[in-house]
A and B are shown apart, each in its own frame.
Chain A
Amino acid sequence: MSFMMRAVKVPPPSASLEEARHRVFDLFRSACRSLPTVMEIYTLNDVVTVSQLRSAISSEFRNNAHITDPKVIDMLLIKGQEELSNVVEHAKQRHHIIGQYVVDRTGMHHGAGKDPSTSQFLDNFYTSNYF
C-alpha cells in the first residue's frame, strides 16, 4: 500500500491567475506529450488518432475555462494531474479511456445536461443562498 503514498505532497498555491494559467498549460503540454504512450498502452491505433485525443483533452480544459479563482484552478490541476498519471501508469483500462475520451463528446460542455428551467427562482436558489 505504500506505493499509494508516494506523491501526496501538494505544490504551493498559485500566487496569481497568470501563474495558474502557466501551470495549466504545463499540464496540457505534458498530457499531449504522453499521448503516443497512451495510444500504445491501450492499443487505440485503430480506434482514434492522436489529434482526436488532443482535442478531447483541450475540450476538458475548456469546460473549466470560465473559472477565475487561482485556488479552484489549483484544485482542478491536482485532479487533472492525478487523472493523467492514472492513465499513463495503466491504472485505467481500455474501455475507460474509450468511454471517457473517444466516444462522441458533443454533449460535454459546461451546462450541457440541464433542461431549460421554468423557474428563475429555483435556478438562483440552486446556485447560492444570496440573491
Chain B
Amino acid sequence: MASVSATSVSFGCSFNQTKSITASKGCSISLGTTNRRLSSLRFPRLRVYASAKPETVSKVMEIVKKQLALNDSVDLKPESKFSELGADSLDTVEIVMNLEEVFNITVEEDNSQNITTVQEAADLIEKLVADKPTEATSEASA
C-alpha cells in the first residue's frame, strides 16, 4: 500500500488544475475539475511509472555485485553504468538473465538493449512485474 501513496503523490505534482486530492485505500480520488478523465484512477489497474522501489534497486545491486565479483569497497550507486563497473556485453546479458530468473519475468529483445545502469534495470523490472498480474486478470476475465 505504500506504493499507492507514492503514486498519488506523483499525480499531485503533475496536474496543475487539481484543487484537492484525497487518496484513500480504495484509490477513489475526488477532484474539482476533469472528473471523467481521471475516473480511471478508481480502477486498480492504473499503471503509473513512478521510479522503482528501493527494495528492487537493492536486489538488483546485490545481483550485479555478485555477478561482477565486486568488492564491498566499490561504490555502487543506482546510476552506475555496468560498463564502468567492468562488465562487458556478455556480462550485461548475463545480469539481465539473472534478473529474469530472480524476478520471474521475461525481458524482450529490444528492452534489454537499453539497460545500461542499475536504475534502468530496476525500472524495467517494476514495469514488467506490474504488467504481469494485469495480463493474468485479463486472461481470466476473457
Contacts and interface: CB of A to CB of B under 8 A. Distances in A.
Contacts of A35: 101
A21 B89 contact: yes
B90 A65 contact: yes
Chain A binding surface SS class: helix
Interface residues of A, number: 16
A61 B97 contact: no
Contacts of B94: 28, 32, 54-55, 58
B98 A25 contact: no
A58 B93 CA distance: 10
B97 A29 contact: yes
Contacts of A28: 90, 93-94, 97
A45 B39 CA distance: 49
B90 A62 contact: yes
Interface in A20-58: 21, 25-26, 28-29, 32-33, 35, 50-51, 54-55, 58
Contacts of B101: 32, 35, 50-51
21 contacts: A25-B89, A25-B90, A26-B109, A28-B90, A29-B97, A32-B94, A32-B97, A32-B101, A33-B97, A33-B100, A35-B101, A51-B98, A51-B101, A54-B94, A54-B98, A58-B90, A58-B91, A58-B94, A61-B90, A65-B88, A65-B90
